Amino acid sequence: MDIREQEREQEIVEDCLELLRQGRSLKECLAQYPDDAAELEPMLRVAVSAQSDLAATLPSSARTRIRDRVMSEWDRQHQPSRWNLRIPSFLSGWALSPRVAFATAILVLALTLGGLGTTTAAANTVPGDVLYPVKEFREGVQLWFARSPEAKVEMYTSLVKERVDEVSKIAAQDQADVAAISDALARMEGHLTALNSVVDSNVTDSGAGADDSGFVKALQESIGDQDAAGGLLIEALDRVPEDVRPAFTNALNAIQSAQDRVHSALETVGQSGFNDR
Amino acid sequence: MSIENRDEEALVLSAQGGDRDAFAQLYEANAERIYRYLLARLTEPADAEDVTAEVFMQAMKSLPSYKPTGSPLIAWLFRIAHNRAVNYMKKGGRRKETLLTETAATYDSPEDEVLEKVRMGEVIGAMGALTELQRQVLSLRFSADLSIAEVAKVMNRKEGAVKFLQFSALRALRRVWNLQEASSHGH
């Protein structure tokens, strides 16, 4: 049977199933396609059996039991909380630990008294600058505090944006430093690899991870931010020397691949697409 | 049960705002089809009941991030149901001893349970010979009573692809039943 013939048969089967769904009989369906009736009848009989055999009903007792379970869970989740403080996601998991709270307070104090000026100045540096290691250290500390999957996704995505901003800054200079651009792009790819790893380890094929709405939201936002990062790289591409362009291609491919990973993870947790496993 | 006074999107928004009754109405409107779909996939009524509850509890947790995109809520619930069913099957379903103590309670009467199991046994058995995608299409078409267009939306596939899967599934089922018949005549 050629493809067109197959498609025609599929259409006829679907037409008949739709008629059956509307309450028409098998005989009536077949009467509309007399030339194909002999071929179609066995298959449609199978369809009719499957249609009736699979149409089980939800017993009222089961319906009530399920509703009771679900609504108890609703009540449990919607109990008024004693504390209504919004804890930043990067601190989640730590906020209740007195030791960590103390350490954080000391760190904040130290940065305020001694290093605030330095870290602020370092924020605008690019690879190769004297204060760049300070920026790296600050990012390392932030990464250390990012414990939850949601916070990690946010952190790595923000680091990707930071590296792309650095590339844009370097590319805007009269004589762009090729080594600095390559360095920033390599670091950016490293962040994307780390992001992929967070995504892979927190979203399984079975959809685990879907329960964490904050994580799902972070993934959705990450896609948008990666889009913006890719756009900035493409804009910068026109301003950089020819010999650094292959590094841009690699970086753009890495962004594309990370976006595919996140899209696929979102599909797995039921936000879009379908898990075919 | 159909949603009459407030449309589904308004109910979703209310539930997102913490309206308990709105969520209960969404449950009532969608529970039957989710349960049927899961029963076709998992075969055991007690398993289907457990996983139906899980689906709605997960939907409750994920509701704050749910954004209506024009597709009905049931499409989203089917995706959750599919993932939950796959997860449940990977874990091996419920333990036998739990099954024995709880299945009787799932039906309104023991007779209903026996009739249902006999009725579904043949089809479910034959569905074991299908591919995962073929089983999904038949479960969504015949258990959840979705149209081809709705199945295509749930599965994120083109309608032509769904028709093809449905056609190949029915052909495969016919082959299995022919074999079963030949085997029973042979004995």
**Residue intervals in chain B for CATH 1.10.1740.10:** 1-106
Q: Kindly identify which residue of chain A lies nearest to residue B64, measuring between CA atoms.
A: A213
Residue B64 in tokens: 């704050």
B141 to A17: CB separation less than 8 angstroms, yes or no:
yes
Among chain A residues, CA nearest to B137:
A276
The interface predicted TM-score of the complex, written ipTM, equals 0.75
pLDDT digits (tens, 9 = 90+) for B80-113: 998 888 888 877 755 332 333 333 344 455 445 4
CB-based contact B142 A69, cutoff 8 Å:
no
Cα separation, A162 vs A178, in Å, equals 18
The dihedral built from the CA positions of residue A259, A261, A265 and A271, taken in this order, carries a sign that is positive
B134 CB near a chain A CB, below 8 Å? no
Each residue's pLDDT, cut to its tens digit, for chain A (277 residues) gives 566 777 788 888 888 888 887 888 888 888 888 888 888 888 888 888 777 777 778 888 999 999 999 999 999 888 765 544 445 555 555 555 666 666 667 666 656 555 666 767 788 888 888 888 888 888 888 888 888 888 999 999 999 999 999 998 898 887 878 888 988 998 998 889 889 888 888 876 555 566 678 888 888 888 888 888 888 888 787 788 887 888 888 888 888 878 878 877 877 776 643 333 3
How far away is chain A from the Cα of B39, in angstroms, using its nearest Cα?
A: 8
> Do the chains contact at A210 and B171, CB–CB below 8 Å?
no
In eight-state DSSP terms, residue A208 is T
pLDDT at position A65: 93
**Ranges A218-222, A265-269, B27-31, B159-163, most confident:** B27-31
Q: Report the pLDDT value the prediction gives residue B120, as an integer from 0 to 100.
A: 53
Architecture of domain B108-187: Orthogonal Bundle (1.10)
Residue A131 CA to residue B168 CA, distance in Å, equals 65
B/e letters for A3-29, b = 16+ CB within 10 Å, e = fewer, are eeeeeebbebbbebbeebeeeeebeeb
Give the Cα separation of A12 and A1 in Å (integer). 15
Determine the Cα–Cα distance for residues A9 and A47; give it in Å rounded to an integer. 14
Positive or negative, the CA dihedral A139, A141, A142, A144 is positive
Cα of A248 vs its chain's centroid, Å: 23
Per-residue pLDDT at A110: 59
Residue % of chain B over a pLDDT of 90: 18
pLDDT for the residue B147: 86
Which DSSP symbol is given to B63?
G
Instruction: Give pTM, 2 decimals.
Output: 0.50
For chain B, give every residue range classified as CATH 1.10.10.10: 108-187
Domain boundaries, chain A: 3-45, 89-268
Contacts of A206 in chain B (CB under 8 A): 83, 86-87, 90
User: In the predicted model, is pLDDT for residue B117 greater than 80?
Assistant: no
Mutation choice for B interface testing from A14, A48, A70 by most B CBs within 10 A: A70
**Residue type present at position A68:** D
Task: Please give the DSSP secondary-structure letter assigned to residue B142.
Answer: I
Mutation choice for A interface testing from B34, B89, B167, B174 by most A CBs within 10 A: B167
Which DSSP string do the residues of A120-173 spell out, in sequence order? Answer: HHHHT--TTSTTHHHHHHHHHHHHHH--SHHHHHHHHHHHHHHHHHHHHHHHHS
Tokens of B20: 């308990």
Choice between A19 and B126, residue whose per-residue pLDDT is larger? A19
Label residue B79 by pLDDT band (50, 70, 90): confident
Residue B26 in this model has a pLDDT that exceeds 90 = yes
DSSP letter (8 states) at residue A244: G
Q: What is the DSSP string of A50-113?
A: HHHHS-----HHHHHHHHHHHHHHHHHHTSPPS------GGGTTTTT-HHHHHHHHHHHHHIII
Question: Is A61 close to B39, i.e. CB distance below 8 A?
Answer: no
Class of domain B1-106 as given by CATH: mainly alpha
Amino acid code (one letter) for B94: R
The mean predicted confidence, pLDDT, of chain B is 77
Residue B148, chain A, CB below 8 Å: the answer is yes
Q: Locate A266 and state its tokens.
A: 């979102």
Alpha-carbon gap, residue A98 to A62, rounded angstroms: 46
DSSP summary character for residue A22: T
CA atoms of A40 and B127, how far apart (whole Å): 20
Tokens of A206: 């079975």
A58-108 pLDDT per residue, tens = 888 999 999 999 999 999 888 765 544 445 555 555 555 666 666 667 666
Asked if B49's CB is within 8 angstroms of A65's CB, the reply is yes
Percent of chain B scoring above 70 in pLDDT: 74
Q: What's chain B's length in residues?
A: 187
Q: Return d(Cα A259, Cα A226) in angstroms, integer.
A: 7
**CB within 8 Å: A213 and B65:** yes
Q: Would you state the pLDDT for residue A147?
A: 85
Please say if the pLDDT value at position B25 is more than 90: yes
Say which range, A254-263, B50-59, B87-96, B149-158, has the weakest mean pLDDT. B87-96
* More confident position, A206 or B156: B156
Cβ–Cβ below 8 Å for B76 and A9? no
